[in-house]
Amino acid sequence: MDVDPVEMLVELAKRGEIDPWNIDIVQVTDAFLRQIEHMRTMNLALPARTLFYASVLLRMKSEALTEEHAEEPPPMEEPEEQMALLENYPELHIPTRRRTKRPATLDELIEELKKAERVERRRKERREVRAERSEVVDVSHEENMEDTVRMVWESLRGLLSSKRRLTLSELLCTLTDVPAVFIYLSLLFLANERRIRLHQDEFFGELYIEGR
């Protein structure tokens, strides 16, 4: 039976792995990813919704770490480094709310994740109006996330060997057999491991991928 990602977060709080009244987004993200890894080792199916929550948490973690770094005296010769954020779903970024208040409790975090889920659902609906029906994500893709990350990494190594950076759109055109949600999540895993750098020049703009 599929495990609801909200229930996973509540269970982490019950086990004392996260503090529901004082959310540390880095701690929450790491605990959530450990739970996903445990599910993989137990050969449990990973629903697309759970992977989506993981991608949003990874993005929030990267933003938190970027803000922490920005509080230190920045090197004057590298302003672009301070602006780099690990982006996944461009439409998920809510500039006014996200940048003024970070979720402080588990309830607030869950509401933020559900809000991102609703935005992503509307985004997909708009795209489906302009294009053919999106490919259905099946269990075989969900159970082979490691293979997908490896495939995305190999493709990036080849593409970035001849150019300094490429766009997410270019990568999606190259990996047409891989569902977009798994390409997004693979990019965030690779960025989290510091194998690539992701950034956008503006909100809702193109996502750029650079090698490190």
Query: Model confidence over 59-72: pLDDT tens digits?
Result: 888 888 877 665 55
pLDDT of residue 78: 37
Distance CA 142, CA 22 (A): 32
Higher-pLDDT residue of 81 and 157 is 157
Distance CA 75, CA 67 (A): 15
Element (H, E) at 53: helix 48-70
Single pTM value for the model: 0.50
Higher-pLDDT residue of 94 and 175 is 175
Sorting pLDDT into bands at 50, 70 and 90, what band is 137? very low
The alpha carbon of 179 is separated from its chain's Cα centroid by a whole number of angstroms, namely 14
pLDDT above 60: residue 94:
no
pLDDT of residue 134: 46
pLDDT of residue 64: 81
CA atoms within 13 A on the CB side of 159: 22
Sorting pLDDT into bands at 50, 70 and 90, what band is 74? very low
Give the residue numbers spanning the domain of 10: 5-211
Sorting pLDDT into bands at 50, 70 and 90, what band is 84? very low
φ, ψ of residue 188 in degrees (nearest 5): -70, -40
Q: Which of 18, 31, 22 is nearest to 58 (CA)?
A: 31
Q: What is the mean pLDDT of residues 179-187?
A: 84
Percent of the chain with pLDDT over 70: 73
Least confident of 132-136, 154-158, 167-171: 132-136
Percent of the chain with pLDDT over 90: 16
Question: Per mean pLDDT, which of 83-87, 94-98, 152-156, 172-176 is the most reliable?
Answer: 152-156
Number of domains in the chain: 1
